[in-house]
Structure 1
Amino acid sequence: MKWALNLGRVAGIKILVHWTFLFLIGWIVFTEMGRGSDLATTLLSVGFVLTIFLCVVLHELGHSLTAQKYGINTKSITLLPIGGVASLERMPESPKQELLIAIAGPAVNVVIAFILWLVLPPLTQIPDEAFFARVTPANFFYLLFFVNLMLVVFNAIPAFPMDGGRVLRALLAFKLGRVRATQIAANLGQILAILFIFMGFFSNPFLILIGVFVFFGAYTENMMVQHLDFLRGHLVREGMMTNYVTLTPENTVRDALEKLLMGSEHEFIVELDGNVVGTLTRSQLIQAVKEDKTNTPVAEIMSRDFETFDVKDKLSQAYTALQKTRSPLYPVLENGRLAGVINTDNINEFIMIKSALVH
């Protein structure tokens, strides 16, 4: 994720903090200043929030490490003002695996709360409103106990793609299948997201951010699952483009610009006698023009680090890879030689045609 600070790795997983997290810290400091708090009280409040987000990291590690047991790696965990996001390489299609992965996160918060309950002296009376109004050294860990309980309850809300929504989808998928289960869970998630947004205008504005995140997250994953269902059983050969423009390493930037202007291609495959040697994007061409390299061979500016697909690979795998890497296109090989190219636009057109044929 762009504009994120890398805090290091845990079990090979990058822990990132998005720059918007600073808004949360700033809001806490501003609130404490408005109360007239001294520096020690302000730092304690900031420390409390950072401790909460440590619990959030452990929560996301619960998801990630459980996913690793099923061969699903996690690229990173990113902390946002509204919580944490674990970037799993893929979601499991097995309802049982998704159920266990979804439950693992809240289970970590249950364990944290249980440990705090064991070590903290029992409260002599039921906490009143003043107890929760301000963080103090005396109530720090008691508040942390209640926050972890709240995280468990909040994540149990069946607002897909939150944990509760994923649990709901997994349970529905046992009977209805993944596609139909996702549709139901996503629709419910979007309804609850609208409710979050509405409540946010009258209470906590962070509910608005959560509602927006849930609404678009549910929509995106619902579309992804439906698209992958349309692609199931199809090979890259069926979705690739065979009518495309290529360049040779000896072609100059000027030659590439002429082809760019004459056609609809924005990216090019650079090949020599049927062997792919590089890829070239429009942005690379524009940068070369700015640097006055119009007579430079494209071999000097092309990307030599690229991935390819074989014509016999699954089309769903190509679609997933294109969605994750945002690479503009992939060369497609047959017996090691260039046979076509594939990009997101072409796969989307393939999906639209299949969808139209079904309906």
Structure 2
Amino acid sequence: MKANLNLGSVAGIKIKVHWTFFLLIIWIVFDQIKRGGNTESILYNVAFIFTVFLCVVLHELGHAFMAKRFKINTKKITLLPIGGIASLEKIPESPKQEFLISIAGPLVNLLIATLLYFTIPINDILNQNLNDSLQFLARFNLRNFLFYVFIVNIGLVLFNLIPAFPMDGGRVLRAILAMKMNRVKATQIAVNIGQFFAAVFLLLGLLYNPILIFIALFIFLGAYGENQIVNHLSILKGHKVQEAMMTDITTFNPNDTVSKVLKTIISGTENNFVVLKEAVIIGILYHKDIIENSNKKNWLVKDIMTTTFKVLQDKDDLKKVYELVYSESNSFFPVVKQDQFVGVIDYVNLNEYLLIQAKLSH
């Protein structure tokens, strides 16, 4: 089962939905049935959830379109039950760029809320006494529907501007701090503030609402992950691919058999391989393809190799490789020097290089 379902694309940005989103829909339907809801109430609530997630998509597109202004592409937007994630091809390091990209999402929700404020009589609803307002909002009609969408968008603005990673507010705070200090220190301060909020949410969750415990975990892990990324990029700054690449490796030619490849895997530690023909890279043997075809021992390497792949230069920045490793599904790249194959670099040895450099820098 695929984790994400492709919904299409907007301006070349793929829109995907995680399969757990449908569990949310099923839960809403069952909850309405349990409460004695009729078909009208079920459809009303399901339509509302889809509208909320449309607002989330627009929020993420706000980030994506602003990033595009700075020549940073967005690979995809993924919808989860807890919100959306815009996967940028690289992390903006300019504080101004990060500020504008981060604030763009909440501004989209603020714009939606503003349009709804002038479209429906918000003040008329809010100025009623509590009982009248509750009775009024219990009806299934378009005005009430739009009022709830208005409230949700205000909520999205406020929640996303909490100064804690991985919310937009954490990135906005880091961008403002980075205008006055280095990025690593700015990130550390923003992370500490974010983890304080995580502790507050955890306490409130234990006392009142368990959902806040999950939000606390989300914030804590997001802050930790952001801190790790920034520290790694700082360590890799100024270092080149040739410093971290593996050179003692096994290669195959296109006419070698799958059986030979399997023996190499079993007898050694390598999982992925470069395929050479007259010293020219013509393909990559990925571990998943080798295992998938392990029962076809008489097949040739050329029958199962991948011919579409990225090639790195030995003088490329390791920061570029770091971003590639965490954005590509296959994190194994051949390296060339003046068009000659000289080595490979992958997720494992990049992490080993990071560990060594981190130790050396202390």
Under TM normalisation by the shorter chain, which class is it? over 0.9
- SS state at 1:62 partner: helix
State which drifts further: 151-160 or 186-195.
186-195
Answer yes or no: is the 8 Å Cα contact 1:82–1:210 preserved in 2: no
**Residue of structure 2 equivalent to 1:90:** 90
Distance in 1 between the 2:167 and 2:251 partners?
Answer: 44
Sort the Cα spacing of 1:127 and 1:280 in 2 relative to 1 into closer, same or farther, 3 A. Answer: farther
- SS state at 1:325 partner: coil
Distance in 2 between the 1:229 and 1:85 partners?
Answer: 24
Q: Extract unaligned runs of 5+ from structure 1.
A: none
Paired amino acid for 1:14: K
| CA offsets 1:3-31 (integer angstroms, 9 cap, x no match) | 22222222221222211111221222222
TM-aligned CA deviation for residue 2 of structure 1: 4.4
State which drifts further: 329-338 or 216-225.
216-225
Answer yes or no: is the 8 Å Cα contact 2:324–2:331 preserved in 1: no
> Is 1:304 the equivalent of 2:268?
no
Match of residue 359, structure 2, among 332, 341, 356: 356
State which drifts further: 200-209 or 36-45.
200-209
TM-aligned CA deviation for residue 250 of structure 1: 2.3
Q: How does 1:1-359 map to 2 (within 5 A)?
A: 2-121=2-121, 122-123=123-124, 125-126=127-128, 128=130, 131=134, 134=138, 136-137=140-141, 138-200=143-205, 203-290=208-295, 293-359=296-362
TM-aligned CA deviation for residue 198 of structure 1: 4.5
* TM-score, length basis structure 2: 0.92
Answer yes or no: is the 8 Å Cα contact 2:165–2:226 preserved in 1: no
| CA offsets 1:18-72 (integer angstroms, 9 cap, x no match) | 1111122122222222221211122112212221221111111111111111111
Answer yes or no: is the 8 Å Cα contact 1:248–1:271 preserved in 2: yes
- SS state at 2:274 partner: strand
* TM-score, length basis structure 1: 0.92
Q: Extract unaligned runs of 5+ from structure 2.
A: none
Distance in 2 between the 1:323 and 1:195 partners?
Answer: 31
TM-aligned CA deviation for residue 135 of structure 1: 6.3
State which drifts further: 103-112 or 215-224.
215-224
- SS state at 1:15 partner: strand
Distance in 2 between the 1:65 and 1:205 partners?
Answer: 35
* Identity among equivalent pairs (%): 48
| CA offsets 1:100-128 (integer angstroms, 9 cap, x no match) | 11111111111111111112123162462
Distance in 2 between the 1:209 and 1:54 partners?
Answer: 23
TM-aligned CA deviation for residue 216 of structure 1: 2.1
State which drifts further: 201-210 or 56-65.
201-210
| CA offsets 1:171-208 (integer angstroms, 9 cap, x no match) | 11111211111122223323323443443455555434
Distance in 1 between the 2:139 and 2:272 partners?
Answer: 56
Sort the Cα spacing of 1:33 and 1:352 in 2 relative to 1 into closer, same or farther, 3 A. Answer: same
TM-aligned CA deviation for residue 99 of structure 1: 0.6
| CA offsets 1:265-310 (integer angstroms, 9 cap, x no match) | 11111112321121113332333222xx223221222112221101
**Residues matched between the structures, number:** 357
Paired amino acid for 2:120: L
State which drifts further: 78-87 or 135-144.
135-144
Paired amino acid for 1:128: L
State which drifts further: 125-134 or 97-106.
125-134
Paired amino acid for 1:343: D
TM-aligned CA deviation for residue 212 of structure 1: 3.0
- SS state at 1:116 partner: helix
Distance in 1 between the 2:281 and 2:100 partners?
Answer: 43
Distance in 1 between the 2:33 and 2:275 partners?
Answer: 60
Paired amino acid for 2:124: L
- SS state at 1:324 partner: coil
